[in-house]
Amino acid sequence: MRVFFVADTKDLTPKLFLDAVRKYVKGFVRLGHDTQVFSCSHALFSANSVAWRALSKRYSKKRAVETLLQQLRLYKPDLVFVGLPKMIDAKTILCMREVAPKAFFMGIESDVRPEERPGRVEAASKLDLLFTAFGSNGQHALIRAGASCLFMPNACDPDVERRYPVSDRWHSDVVFTGKLRHRSTATEQLRPDIITRLASLSRCAVYGCWNRPFLAGIDYYYAISGAKMGLSINVANDIQLYHSDRLTHYLACGTLVLARSVPDSDRMFQDGVHLRYFDTEDQFFDLVERYLREEMEREKIACAGMEWIHSEFNQVKIVQHMLEAVETGSYRAPWMR
């Protein structure tokens, strides 16, 4: 099968290793498929050669879309994987379908507030199938627009998302990596309250907020590997099955994950087996104190979580689920019940 990816790749940013597209490409290749990746950000950069700023943006997109359509026409893909980059609107997807009429068009959406991004929901509605990293109560805006949605959890890449031996520099009791707040409307104050308290504790490592440095590349995985526990908490914690990819990274790197519970999350990760859930600030810090004392139990749960995420959520397994859904409209997995 020929698979054509259209995405905003992060090749020119420090977030290269966190780019989910890399995982899906690797999954398709390991299953024996050919892949081509069209980077919208690179295409726009290459096309942006007009001196007049007022015309530059419009002209760049026009040239980039022309290049995209030409590549699609030449490659004749069987499957088009759209990462819903900013450049791709509903009109562009319709043009893509015209030049690749036999291809199945699917996409991925990990943002629980897609309606906050202009044109994103409308673009998603032009795909044959949209995989979302959240369940049905987060899909309402997409479904109203006509999108065909199916839950698919974030993929893990055990090649790089694994436990590393690290120096004392990276050792901590609890780690958190990310923003204090997010552009989306938060559903509770719990996240900033816990992070603020963590930032004041000497044995806790907070990165990306409170004037602490943002971690990139393998250092990001070093910081997780060196932590006894990791805090996983979303901005919105009322969305069915939704966890940000932070939870995937933490589980994969072998730290004990303390995760804010979300509806139906135990269908993927069992409390006390793969991680520990909490609902309040007091519960979180009680768990921290408990598992600082109970080292063997902490390590047991952390190892079980790492093995589970590596075996059931690796990029090959997730791509297999996607291909099954393309063929049948659904797929078989432990959380699909």
| DSSP letters spanning 222-244 | HHHHTEEEEEE--S---STT---
Query: Confidence class of residue 167 from pLDDT cuts 50, 70 and 90?
Result: very high
Q: Kindly report, residue by residue over 59-107, the tens digit of the pLDDT.
A: 678 888 999 999 999 999 999 999 988 889 999 999 999 999 999 999 9
Residue 241 near residue 264, CB atoms below 8 Å: yes
Average pLDDT over residues 273-278: 99
Query: Which whole-number Å values give the CA distances from 261 to 43, 138, 205, 232, 240, in the listed order?
Result: 40, 16, 22, 9, 10
How is domain 2-155+314-328 classified at the architecture level of CATH? 3-Layer(aba) Sandwich (3.40)
Residue 187 has pLDDT above 80, yes or no: no
Q: In percent, how much of the chain has pLDDT > 70? A: 92
CB atoms within 10 A of CB 263: 16
pTM: 0.93
pLDDT of residue 9: 78
Cβ(40)–Cβ(88) under 8 Å?
yes
In this predicted structure, the answer to whether residue 11 has a pLDDT above a threshold of 70 is: no
- Give the mean model confidence (pLDDT) for residues 141-158: 97
Q: Do domains 2-155+314-328 and 168-312 have the same CATH topology?
A: yes
Q: Name the class of domain 168-312.
A: alpha beta
**Mean pLDDT confidence for 325-330:** 97
Nearest to 240 by CA among 323, 179, 153, 319: 153
Res 54 pLDDT > 70: no
- If 0-12 CB within 10 Å is exposed, 13-18 middle and 19+ buried, where does residue 259 land? buried
Q: Sketch the domain layout of the chain as residue ranges.
A: 2-155+314-328, 168-312
How many angstroms separate the CA atoms of 257 and 249, rounded? 10
